[in-house]
Amino acid sequence: MNPFANFTGHDGGLNRVWSCLLVALTGMLSMAGGESEASDKGLVTRIALGSCADQKKKQPIWDAIVAQSPDLFVFLGDNVYADTEDMDEMRASYAMLAAIPGYQKLRKTCPVLAVWDDHDYGVNDGGAEYPKKAEAAQIFHDFFKTPADSPARRRPGTYDVRYFDGGEGKVLQILLLDTRTFRGPLVAFPQRSTHGPYDRNRDPAVTLLGAEQWKWLEEELAKPADIRFIMTSIQFLPQDHHWELWENLPHERERFLKLLAAKQTGPVIFFSGDRHMGELMKLRTDDPLSPGFPIYEMTTSGLTNAGGGRNGEPNRHRVSPTNFQSRNFGMVLIDWEKREVTLELCDIDGKVVDSYLAKLAATQ
Domains for the chain: give ranges and CATH numbers: 41-83+111-359 (3.60.21.70)
pLDDT band for 192, please (50, 70, 90 cuts). confident
The pLDDT score that the predictor gives to residue 40 is: 61
The pLDDT score that the predictor gives to residue 312 is: 79
The pLDDT score that the predictor gives to residue 91 is: 98
Mean pLDDT for the stretch of residues 177-184: 98
Mean pLDDT for the stretch of residues 321-341: 97
Q: CA 36, 40, 46, 51 torsion: positive or negative?
A: positive
Mean pLDDT for the stretch of residues 215-237: 98
Backbone φ, ψ for residue 133 (5° rounding): -65, -35
State how far the Cα of 218 lies from the Cα of 262, in Å rounded to an integer.
Answer: 10
Mean pLDDT for the stretch of residues 288-310: 97
pTM: 0.91
The pLDDT score that the predictor gives to residue 193 is: 80
On average, the pLDDT of the chain sits at: 91
Mean pLDDT for the stretch of residues 353-360: 98
Most confident of 3-17, 24-38, 204-218: 204-218
Higher pLDDT among residues 38 and 168, named by residue: 168
What is the percent of the chain where pLDDT is above 90? 85
Mean pLDDT for the stretch of residues 264-285: 98
State how far the Cα of 246 lies from the Cα of 249, in Å rounded to an integer.
Answer: 6
